[in-house]
Chains A and B, each alone.
Chain A
């Protein structure tokens, strides 16, 4: 993935803040490499340390241990004003006593760029963010989206090695946020600068990024393309925080060429390819609800299948959400309503839920998950709006379970 020296490299970075009764760790040893020109997102619930991570890179926080490198050179002890990265703050932090032009020109002037060049570069950057003509406007006369673009221009005009964006869209309403997602991506492509974006909104991270790092409790749980992170979550936390997952725990009963087999009840059978667990060992797997089919007839033997009773049906127009009680626990199924003639399953029906075995994936046994302490019963962990986008509409994402699914129902 990365050729040559990463634009931003972190090695074992840890940082704790003084808090009630001692220190509260914000970063517990983070390793990260962001390639030059990449659109990289750090996704995680509030309080997971992602903003601290950004502040350590920008130079506002000094790590307790570990090292930050920009373009291969250690920036240990280098103050923010001498780091070749610029930040887009969550509040935008536009200087209220300066107009748009002076805000954008601030960095260039501090670096002693000549008057004519300042005028030229600021003008060109305002063109890129489509704010030409608003040079004399004060920040308080601008809309939220315009302020956001000024903040972006103020960072980009300096042609830094990387732009760090701290929840840049959180303050915007849903419609504007979706428009700005495309806008950010366009600008990033146009100028080719490395973007590191911090967000709690999985839809945002998946839609915009080349790669995503999912963070929880001061650690990075997984780094990968949006597709990898969604389709192959490696830990329980990632499976639950990015999209919705059914978590199924059991013991490996036998090993077949196609993978480990877990048996549930008389005729429930789940196959997991590439699981490292051996016979008799416990194993936890995750399955995405949209990968699961539901039906009255027994599926063919090649599929993973569980028998159960429909506990709940949620009709959402384009799709239907079923909750099916099985021997392996509650299983959530998203079914597309693509055939109006088919009678859907009703509450209390005996049904089969089944999926292709390539859609069951084993989760790391070492995965830690503080958001879901009832590890024995293993209800399906749900959050966010699934792959279909930014249903979450506020900054209050806590990464925990059921509220996300409830909101999904409310929005659809």
Chain B
């Protein structure tokens, strides 16, 4: 009995542990090793602890890296701004139909990611169904375009990752005791003050979770930049893909991947620290 009890936790983590080992830790180690090798596709790669790979990667693609983070940040903010009201509405106003609206929110995502993004290309083309009529009526200059701009990339990212922001916010709002906003109103806070002082701070953990869930994959995304963006809008994910598959520069691609990972890790940790501090200070802040 005691023996079995002692080993039970290890047995329970075994399947997940093996999975992580096989598909996460081993590839990560191989990639880490690869990022320090030198050589080329024809002669083969050798482990030389060639740290220059990192320096070269940052030197050449530093701008792309910064742009990726900028796009991801803009799209994260857009996601939060767009999905908070929707999540709020579903949590507080949808009544019995909550599940229905939550389903509607995720239903577009049953369609393939790439397909959806290409569909956006159709919508946003220079004389497409969106811009065409506006230009015909002289509401937009004829040379106005959305496709192949940074704006299109950010819009596409926002669209593609919206549920990852909306759902955590919904969960956080759903968890807030219904009488708390009422108590705030009861204590002379108007609608705006009740929201700012009580509901918003209590739902911030949801925004935080949503921001991590969207920012990290968006910063590494390359589909949106390649499909919707122009040649000046490339993101680091696209560069990694090109270095790896087009140029066969495995070490450079690996080094860039690790650089991105490190940058994201630092960004998320800094973010968690800042937000956590605000939560602790509460109303006094």
Contact = CB atoms under 8 A, between A and B. Distances in A.
Interface of A: 58-60, 79-82, 86-87, 89-91, 93-99, 102, 106-107, 110-111, 154, 158
A142 to B, nearest CB: 16
Report whether over half of chain B's contact residues are helix, strand or loop; otherwise say mixed: helix
B136 interface: no
Nearest to A85: B186
B189 interface: yes
B186 A86 contact: yes
A102 B183 contact: no
B202 interface: yes
Contact of B180 (A58, A86, A93, A99): A93
Nearest to B181: A93
B94 to A, nearest CB: 14
A380 to B, nearest CB: 39
17 contacts: A86-B186, A87-B183, A90-B179, A93-B179, A93-B182, A95-B180, A95-B183, A95-B184, A96-B180, A96-B202, A99-B282, A106-B184, A106-B197, A110-B187, A110-B188, A111-B188, A154-B187
Contact of B183 (A59, A93, A97, A158): A93
A96 B202 CA distance: 8
Contacts of A90: 179
B190 interface: yes
Nearest to A79: B185
Q: Size band of the B side of the interface?
A: 20 to 34
A158 B193 CA distance: 18
Contacts of B202: 96-97
Given A89-B183, A96-B180, A111-B188, 12 more contacts: A60-B185, A79-B190, A81-B187, A86-B186, A93-B177, A95-B198, A96-B202, A97-B279, A97-B282, A107-B188, A110-B189, A158-B188
Contacts of A80: 182, 185-186
A197 B187 CA distance: 18
Contacts of A106: 184, 187, 189, 197, 283
Contacts of A95: 180, 183-184, 198, 283
Contacts of B283: 95, 97-98, 102, 106
Select the residue from A80, A89, A90, A154 with max chain B CB neighbours within 10 A. A80
B111 interface: no
Contacts of B190: 79, 81
Nearest to B187: A107
The 9 A-B pairs with the shortest beta carbon distances in the complex, nearest first, are A107-B187, A93-B183, A93-B179, A110-B188, A80-B185, A97-B282, A102-B283, A89-B179, A98-B283
A93 B187 CA distance: 11
Contact of B179 (A79, A81, A91, A97): A91
B284 interface: yes
A226 B197 CA distance: 41
B184 A102 contact: no
Contacts of B197: 106
Given A81-B190, A158-B187, A89 B282 contact: no
Contacts of B182: 60, 80, 87, 89, 93
Nearest to A111: B188
A160 to B, nearest CB: 10
Contacts of A87: 182-183, 186
A137 to B, nearest CB: 13
Contacts of A96: 180, 202
Nearest to B279: A97
A396 to B, nearest CB: 21
Interface string B211-249: 000000000000000000000000000000000000000
B187 A86 contact: yes
B260 to A, nearest CB: 34
A106 B181 CA distance: 12
